[in-house]
Amino acid sequence: MRLHRFALAAACAAALFLPALAHAAGYGVYEQGASALGMAGAITASIHDPAAEFYNPAVLPSLEGRSLYVGGTWLSTRVSFAGVGPSPGYGVTESMKNGNFFPPTVYWTNHLNKKWAYGVGVNAPFGLGVDWQNPSTFTGRTRVTKANLSTINANLSLAWQMAPTFSVGAGFDALFASVELNNTITQVVPGGGGATANVANAKLKSDLTPGYGMNAAISWKPDPAWKFGAYYRSKVDVKVDKGKATFTQIPTGDASFDAAVKAGLPANQGATTTLHFPAMWSAGAAWSPDPSWTWEADFGWTQWSAFDKLALTFPSQTSLNTDIVEDYKDCFRVSVGAEHRMPKYTYRFGYYFDEAAAPTQSVTPLLPDANRHGATLGLGWNLGAQKRWTLDMYEMALFVEDRSTEGKNRDHYDGTYKSYINAAGAGLAYHW
């Protein structure tokens, strides 16, 4: 008896690659500024605080003086699954452990002179956390039991005010990413009537690895009532050439069966791949009917079609090499928001729709990707005798449409996923 090595390779590939996609398609962290999220991210044209370093660096020359901004978001997630036949079967229900994540944001902006300004930012624009309950019996355990994708992005941007109404900006990004993923390998028990047993745990882990990209933006303010803006962030490839794959056998108590499993289990070894983070575009138009109000609408486009397939390579055991077909599509995001500036405080509200990138065949326990609707509220205050401090807070409820695999899942793991995400964040800035 031999453990089928192709099955091992497929299980490992699923655990290593998909989180990068899963995070950015379904769990891209757009929450990079509290005032921006109060308006549901409809801020490309009208951003007016240090978060412009992320949302539109061309705006930097219009900011007064220098500013330091520190903020963060609390993201909480809930996901459940109801299976259908033939696999995993009607009546099967599963749940993820509730997730809690805290992506940070730090920005520094300053002027070189009246026409030139720069900004520096550190944030976490991508991230994934998956942790299914009861991993030893979870019916999707051969796909994933637990996964984490962590990123840290550092960017530097320079902006030039070419005319009183028009400015441009550009910069460079260094995105560091690491993954840690776990799944379970199962095997049919000899003489067990088709029953399967857990025979090994597979774990793939990489260190924090860098990839590089660029960004560009424009800002146009033709008159006091109207503002227009657009930005582009390039694709970033993170080449993971020092991933580590480990396989830990799970004894079943059947000596001959365990010996066959041990003989077929791959050795612990290195693994390589490339994690792709997509290019993103955004354009917005803002209207201020009077000095106290701003309304904005934005349209965003993410180039997910680059992910037709991904390849996992084991340099020391090439028979395990495999490709994963994903066939993601480009997707759009639409957001609208408003800001009302009062004498003592500012309030904001907004809505956005984010289209799913994963086709039905690619909806998995690692990423139950689906269309998302977000509703947000925000408040801001200028503090201190000289109003040098600004405190912004927001709350966002993210409603994810139920997503069925429609019997088309590539791994033959079919059913309906239900997800809900809540975000709450704050940012504190000092201006001088």
Q: How many CB atoms lie within 10 A of CB 263?
A: 10
Query: Has residue 296 got a pLDDT over 90?
Result: yes
Q: What pLDDT was estimated at residue 28?
A: 61
What percentage of the chain has pLDDT greater than the value 90?
67
pLDDT at 111: 97
Q: What average pLDDT does the segment 216-237 reach?
A: 96
Question: 208 or 326: which carries more pLDDT confidence?
Answer: 208
**Using an 8 Å Cβ cutoff, are 420 and 401 in contact?**
no
By the 8 A CB rule, do 186 and 169 touch?
no
Q: pTM here?
A: 0.87
d(CA 284, CA 47): 10
Confidence of residue 13 (pLDDT cuts 50, 70, 90): very low
**Rounded distance between C-alpha atoms, residue 56 and residue 315, angstroms:** 42
Q: Between residues 13 and 45, which one has the greater pLDDT? A: 45
| Region of poorest pLDDT, from 189-193, 229-233, 275-279, 348-352 | 189-193
- Does the structure show a pLDDT above 50 at 425? yes
Distance of CA 169 to the CA centre of its chain: 24
Question: What is the four-CA torsion angle of 335, 153, 393, 430, rounded to 10 degrees?
Answer: -120
User: With left for phi above 0 and alpha for psi between -120 and 50, is residue 406 left, alpha or beta?
Assistant: left
Mean pLDDT for the stretch of residues 167-186: 94
d(CA 52, CA 54): 5
Evaluate the omega torsion of the peptide bond into residue 86 and state whether it is cis, within 30 degrees of 0.
yes
Of 40-54, 270-284, 302-316, 360-374, give the lowest mean pLDDT range: 302-316
Reply yes or no on whether the pLDDT at 23 is more than 60. Answer: no
Helix (H) or strand (E) holding 422: strand 415-431
Domain span including residue 213: 5-431
Structural domain count of the chain: 1
- CA 283 to CA 274: how far, in whole Å? 29
Render pLDDT for 300-328 as a digit per residue (tens, 0 to 9).
Answer: 999 888 777 777 888 888 888 887 777 88
Side chain identity at residue 371, one-letter code: N
Mean pLDDT, range 55-61, rounded to an integer: 97
Residues 6 or more apart whose CB falls under 8 angstroms from that of 350 comprise 38, 39, 40, 41, 42, 335, 336, 337, 338, 375, 376
Mean residue pLDDT of the chain comes to 89
Residues 6+ apart with CB under 8 A from 95: 79, 80, 81, 132, 133
Query: Is pLDDT of 334 > 50?
Result: yes
Distance separating alpha carbons of residues 60 and 107, to the nearest angstrom: 12
Residue 392's CATH number: 2.40.160.60
Characterize the bridge pairing of strands 67-83 and 415-431.
antiparallel
